[in-house]
Chains A and B, each alone.
Chain A
Amino acid sequence: MIELHDVWKTYPDGTVALQAVNVVIDRNEFVFIVGPSGAGKSTFMKLIYREEVPTKGQISVNGFNLGKLKPRKIPYVRRNIGVIFQDFRLLPKLTAYENVAFAMEVVEAPRRLIKKRTMEALELVGLKHKANSLPAQLSGGEQQRVAIARAIVNNPSVIVADEPTGNLDPETSWEIMKLLEEINYRGTTIVMATHNRDIVNEMRKRVIAIENGMIVRDQQKGEYGYEI
């Protein structure tokens, strides 16, 4: 499903973000990526959704070799990957419904299907009643749920979440995690970078720790493993 073979990433300014990374993530796994700030977690995530390309090595997602992917094929790979961020990245002038429907319009889905699937996604995240609210009228947790609805509406096989609870209070964070767990249970692979110790320790999923651009730990039913 997601395979990295001897992946190196050096940025143009000389920063080595990842070195000799080898990882295989299977279909339907739930993986936490942990590690100190600046260790390379975000780069790891960006490589998966082809925001960055590896300097060396091979990375494939759903059978696509991302390093050799032609630029005009990128959109088609991304349609199979849902992405969630710490800062939600909703369009402020669109309603919750429009923000979610947007992801389907972009892939030119028929209008009737867009309506059906958007409402289903909003229902799953528990925001059907706020479909017509603008992001500014929603709480942080609600905004993140809209972002999750947007990420899943095209039925991707993978969801990449870069610190999705980073801006949320503990209670709201748990709501988001329940939602992600539910989505994972329905058959979507989830790769989530996080600094949230409680969540990692409580959920007991696979944990990959990255330090100085290298994978230093990869354990099933793992723990957060850092003091802070």
Chain B
Amino acid sequence: MKFSTFSRHVREGVKGIVRNGWMSFASISSIAVSLFILGVFMLLTLNVNRFTEQVEGQAQIRVYLQLDTPQEKIAEIERQIKRIPEVANVVFVSKEDGLRRLRETLGEKGSVLDGYEAENNPLPDGFDVDVFEPRQIETAARKIEALNDTDPDQSIWEVRYGEETVKQLFRITNAIRNVGLVIVLGLAVTAMFLISTSIRMTIFARRREIAIMKLVGATNGFIRWPFFVEGALTGFTGALITVVVLMAGYAQVIRSTQFDMGLMMFELVPLDEVIWTVGGTIVALGTLIGIWGSTLSVRKHLRV
């Protein structure tokens, strides 16, 4: 294609948007509105994801040793646990640490522990074990238990990781993720439908123009190009408006929750992380939808 022809197509595409003022406005608005709803759900899903990851990440294995396990044995077991591939980190928790922790958990009622000091501490030594993947927690726990099989003293007394709680949590977070995905997909399809309909109306309003172009000997490719540019530009503009509004709104939400929900352990996904993922997806999607809608609609009018 000659450069002058290409620039003509771009010029005509832009002119097309301006000339069909109200129809373009309708298309751009419907793209913006649909993508905005989509964007809100994407942000929600991202944050739910982040939240569930944080909750899952807190899942930890606690290993308790038999009382009176000697120091060398403890060090040996720690090494063995570290060698398990799923294990990310092992922290030794002495019985003194255990007692302090228990006091903190009990809070005001911590006084029931008075009298239990270093000498007669009833708690065992142990480890806190973190895994790389929350989902591997069960496997890792089994492997730690299995360490007893090769140990004549059976030094590991108990391995706990709140089996039922963890499984329940995974079920819930999985459900939230799946529901979010379904809603996002559903909205994407709805947005596509809305947009292609309004672009089809734009083109239907211009079937006369297309007919005249054909009459004076325009090739189908030549007829398609300006509509292609127009569709892409319509989608892009709508998406850009959405991204600007969405990001401004999200920044506001982050700012206000910093104070209102300051006590919550949960932190929203920061803006700079979201701009590229959500913003980029929306712009790309909007442009693609615009192109797709216009291509589809023009093809219908080119058949003779």
Contact = CB atoms under 8 A, between A and B. Distances in A.
Note whether A and B form a binding pair. yes
Interface of A: 49, 51, 71-72, 74-79, 83, 89, 91, 93, 102-103, 105-108, 110-111, 150, 154
Contact of A106 (B4, B211, B222): B222
B304 A51 contact: yes
Interface in B155-175: none
A89 B212 contact: yes
Contacts of A105: 8
Contacts of B212: 89, 91, 102
B19 A111 contact: no
A191 to B, nearest CB: 15
Q: Is the interface of B mostly helix, strand, loop or mixed?
A: helix
B218 A75 contact: yes
Contacts of A75: 214, 217-220, 222
Interface string B17-32: 0010000000000000
Contacts of A72: 219-220
A74 B216 CA distance: 11
A120 B215 CA distance: 21
B5 interface: yes
A106 B209 contact: no
30 contacts: A49-B215, A51-B304, A71-B304, A72-B220, A75-B214, A75-B217, A75-B218, A75-B220, A75-B222, A76-B217, A77-B217, A78-B215, A79-B216, A79-B217, A83-B215, A83-B216, A89-B212, A89-B215, A102-B213, A102-B216, A103-B216, A103-B217, A106-B216, A106-B217, A106-B218, A106-B222, A107-B216, A108-B222, A110-B4, A154-B217
A93 B19 contact: yes
Contacts of B4: 110-111
Contacts of A49: 215
A110 B216 CA distance: 17
B72 to A, nearest CB: 86
Contacts of A107: 216-218
Interface in B1-60: 2, 4-5, 8, 19
A106 to B, nearest CB: 4
A83 B5 CA distance: 24
Nearest to A77: B217
Q: Chain B CB within 10 Å — which of A51, A76, A78, A106 has the most?
A: A106
Given A83-B216, A103-B216, A106-B213, 17 more contacts: A72-B219, A75-B214, A75-B218, A75-B219, A78-B214, A78-B217, A79-B216, A79-B217, A89-B215, A91-B208, A93-B19, A102-B213, A103-B217, A105-B8, A106-B222, A150-B216, A154-B216
Contacts of A110: 4
Contact of B2 (A71, A103, A108): A108
Nearest to A85: B215
B225 to A, nearest CB: 11
A182 B85 CA distance: 93
A105 B222 CA distance: 10
Q: Chain B CB within 10 Å — which of A75, A79, A102 has the most?
A: A75
A102 B213 CA distance: 8
Nearest to B4: A111
Interface string B197-229: 000000000001101111111111010000000
Nearest to B5: A108
Contacts of B2: 108
B24 to A, nearest CB: 13
Contacts of B219: 72, 75
Contacts of A111: 4
Nearest to B219: A75
Nearest to A79: B217
Contacts of A79: 216-217
A1 B165 CA distance: 89
Contacts of A83: 215-216
Contacts of B304: 51, 71, 74
A76 B222 CA distance: 13
B209 A91 contact: yes
Nearest to A104: B216
